[in-house]
Amino acid sequence: MQRRDVGFWQRLAGRIGGPVLELGCGTGRVSLPVARMVETVVGVDRSGEMLNVARRRLRRSRYGPRVKLVRGDIRALPFLDPAPFRVAMAPYGILQSLLRDRDLKKTLASVARVLERGATFGIDLVPELPEWGEYRRRVSLRGRRGARGGHLTLIESVGQDRARGITTFDQEFVERKGAERSSRRFSIAFRTLSLRQMRNRLERTGFDIEAVLGDYHGRAWGPRARAWIILARRR
Ligand SMILES: C[S@@+](CC[C@H](N)C(=O)[O-])C[C@H]1O[C@@H](n2cnc3c(N)ncnc32)[C@H](O)[C@@H]1O
């Protein structure tokens, strides 16, 4: 799943300024390029493994020192100062990865607490989750890692639990080098949420909806939009 969202987050941060918070920053795929635009980006993630990958990525970049990585849970953001951030970014369906409504509510309240008045909360929802076809262990990529690296295979599976509105996406990276074989798994489940549900929850948590966009270039949302992006303003 190649995403084309990074330029969007860079432009948003560049327009508003920092400090910027990323919810579920993972490997720093978004946080690091956003750090080209503002002095301070804070990425929060609960996975130590993801943050280790991010740390290696930051060390290789001149913008790395602008990114602070914090291990924590977005349902209870670990910041003591009230309202230190001007922008919060929720890329790549992170809010849909909260599978229970009470976790979503806690997260929105937690974000509201750390944003200053008038700050912007950008939310990117994965729109077509229920339409993802189910498949098991499909090889989606084969290749070699560098000239002397091992042989890489990426195996993906998608599962649907329609009764609960949950879509599960599994990736397994298998690397073979001579007789050695290593494998890493990454699994994420998303909950189907309508735009209206998300808007209502935001409004109830102290946000006004500023815009709903249908792509990463800023075009307005329509029923056939490929992306669902909400920009909300902290009251
Ligand atoms: C699909 S990855 C996206 C990473 C990054 N935002 C990107 O777009 O490349 C989702 C990340 O959110 C993190 N995550 C999920 N639930 C979380 C929670 N409750 N608190 C903190 N991090 C969480 C996961 O560990 C994972 O690194």
Q: Are 183 and 175 in contact (CB under 8 A)?
A: yes
Tokens 């270039």: give the residue.
Answer: 217
Residue 30 CB–ligand 1 contact under 6 Å: yes
Q: Residue ranges per domain, the chain?
A: 6-125+193-234, 129-190
pLDDT of residue 127: 87
pLDDT of residue 150: 82
pLDDT of residue 140: 83
How is residue 152 annotated by DSSP? E
* Of 47, 75, 123, best ligand 1 pocket probe by most atoms within 8 Å of the beta carbon: 47
- CA dihedral (205, 209, 214, 219) in degrees, to 10, reads -150
**Separation CA 125–CA 194 (nearest Å):** 9
- Is a pLDDT exceeding 70 seen at residue 180? yes
- 168 C-alpha to ligand 1 centroid (Å): 14
- Among left, alpha and beta (phi > 0; psi -120 to 50; other), residue 192 is beta
Residues 145-150 have a mean pLDDT of 73
- 45 C-alpha to ligand 1 centroid (Å): 6
- 23 C-alpha to ligand 1 centroid (Å): 7
Tens of pLDDT, residues 19-45: 999 999 999 999 999 999 999 999 999
Architecture of the CATH domain 6-125+193-234: 3-Layer(aba) Sandwich (3.40)
The atom of ligand 1 lying closest to the CA of 24 is 12
